[in-house]
Structure formats: structure tokens, C-alpha cells
Amino acid sequence: MNEADYTSVVKTLRLAKVNGQKEGTLFPMPIILDVSQQQVESLGLKAGARVALRDPRDEAALAILTSMSCPQEECRMLIM
């Protein structure tokens, strides 16, 4: 999910329009994981970095996240 999709979902519950679509795909709830600036720096995260969310029981990848920089002090990790 990119910033245009995030903004559109918050306002309309739909992904941003692409390729001349009449309206974007229904997406009722964005899933956002906030990460503090301290965590961003200690992990060396940069916008566009891919991060795996892992199950602590067996280390299986549950989701692949793409980091985005945000205007706020915290960087948001948005599930693609």
C-alpha cells in the first residue's frame, strides 16, 4: 500500500484509482504498524525496505511489509 492508497482508504474505504478506473478496489480497513524513530534508526529502515512479520513460534513469515516515510515523526509500516 502506498501513500495514495492509504489516503484514499482513509477517506473512501477504497484503494486509489488506477488506469482510468471509475473507483478503486474496496479496502475497508488499512492495517498500519507504527514504528518509533528510534526503532527505525536501530533497524536501519529506509523508505521502500521490505520487512517480514514473523510468527514467534516457528519464524514463519506472516506478512511482507514495505516501509514508507511519513510526514510525522514516526515511520509507518504498511502491509501491502
21/40 same-domain check: no
22/48 same-domain check: no
35/56 same-domain check: yes
47/73 same-domain check: yes
Backbone angles phi, psi at 55, to 5 degrees: -75, 125
Quote the pLDDT of residue 20.
Answer: 77
* Beta-strand runs (E) in 1-80: 32-35, 50-54, 61-68, 75-79
Span 4-23, pLDDT tens digits: 888 888 889 898 888 877 88
Domain tally for the chain? Answer: 2
- pTM for this one? 0.47
Helices (H) and strands (E) in the chain, counts: 2, 4
Span 25-75, pLDDT tens digits: 888 776 677 777 788 888 888 878 888 889 999 999 988 877 776 554 444
First-residue to last-residue Cα distance in the chain: 5
48/77 same-domain check: yes
**By residue range, what is the domain housing residue 80?**
31-80
64/42 same-domain check: yes
